[in-house]
Amino acid sequence: MEQNEAIFQKPLSKTDINHRLSLPTCAFNKHFPAIFHGNRVNIRVRYGGNEVNQEWKLPCYIRGGANPYDKPVLAGQWRHIAASKGFQEGDVVVFYKHQDHEGRLYRFYAFRSVFNDVATGELFLGLASRMIKSRSRIPMSNSGSVAMFEDSAEKGKAAYEEKIGAVMEDEIEPEVVWEQRVKDVEAERKRRVVTSPGFSFSAAGLLFPYHLGVAQFLIENGYIKETTPLAGSSAGAIVCAVIASGATMEEALKATKVLAEDCRSRGTAFRLGAVLRNVLEKFLPEDAHIRSNGRVRVAVTQLLWRPRGLLVDQFDSKEDLINAVFTSSFIPGYLAPRPATMFRNKLCVDGGLTLFMPPTSAAQTVRVCAFPASRLGLEGIGISPDCNPENVTSPRQLFKWALEPAEDEILDRLFELGLKDAAVWAMENPVEKVVQEDSPVIGNSISNSE
């Protein structure tokens, strides 16, 4: 049985839980059987994954009579299902439409309201901050230096290139350990000219326009050139791919508004991943991976016996690059209704959980954070809302916008805030004193504070 794209999601009200579930009219008209006022049609409903076999036939109808209520609803045993599953007001249900040998089937999942609450942002960022500041201290040999595997005869060139070629401690946060494969290290060594400093963009969720505004200023004023190394986690990884692609930040902002409009009209949680992938496939040029190779470090978190930060900057195709930034953005259970995603045959999640602002390959790295760095207890941040006293946006509001797409005027405002915060930083870091030509410096990544 094939699972299609989610047909709708909605937060549950008290009436939805205690009486009947109202269905969004748009989704109902498109995906449910045609029903007239006063008529009822039983539809097949299951809860959870394919391993769950319990099925209900729930009456679906549009109430008629003297005071017709135009909202279509699911009734019957629905309230008993809601009670048995412990649904609460604000929880989100997501419905999928399937087709099996018996005909049409609707499968739904329920998720706690934490995914639609500001608390999610605080929880995720707090977790990332905690991992940054107090990552489990596991003894490592040669920490702070590059450990290369020279013998490639064992399993051939392909296996050799997939080995870990660099194991490093971050110089600003020495508890954070990041790794690179041999092929990624070699891709960086092939770059003949590197402009320092590089720029690292933090995980940011849907605050993507803030990073675009920062990038706009840095490009226009000569801080970011075609030879400038870049690195990012989550939304930061996406903006790095956009910069390397040669697209303008205004074009990227327009694409962001397309994504936001889709999510506002059809829902965000558990379908954002599919929308994001579709936008990237349309927006990025066919040679985006070539432009990014050796220049853009994408951070992902591999789930082994402990979470492990991996920096990827060698991409085999445009699809491989998109898979990398998608994986880097995979907030568990948010981009899709599953706890993790597969990347190059490894189970992975959002890169921000281990490498919130990964280092670049330049001699110096300026770190850009879309959230107030002081709120996360982060040090060595170059550009953030803390830079600009005129940026009075509250952390709580930023967390909300990071998880649910804001209106277009707010997206424009975020873009302007990023641009202004970068301008304030630039006043104390003039381009003629900061930017210099360098040779590749693998693994020597420090933050350039004001």
Catalytic residue numbers? 234, 350
**Measured torsion, CA atoms of residues 340, 51, 276, 226, in degrees rounded to the nearest 10:** 30
Q: Alpha-carbon distance 407 to 320, whole Å?
A: 31
Q: Alpha-carbon distance 329 to 344, whole Å?
A: 15
* CB burial string 8-37: b at 16+ within 10 A, e below: bbbbbeeebbeebbbbbeebbeebbeebee
**Please, what's the largest Cα pairwise distance for the chain?**
82
State the residue for tokens 């794209």: 5
User: In this structure, are residues 301 and 176 in contact, taking their beta carbons and an 8 Å threshold?
Assistant: no
Q: How many CB atoms lie within 10 A of CB 287?
A: 11
DSSP bridge partners of 110: 93
Q: Alpha-carbon distance 29 to 25, whole Å?
A: 6
* Helix, strand, or coil (residue 123): helix
**87: its two tokens:** 């649904």
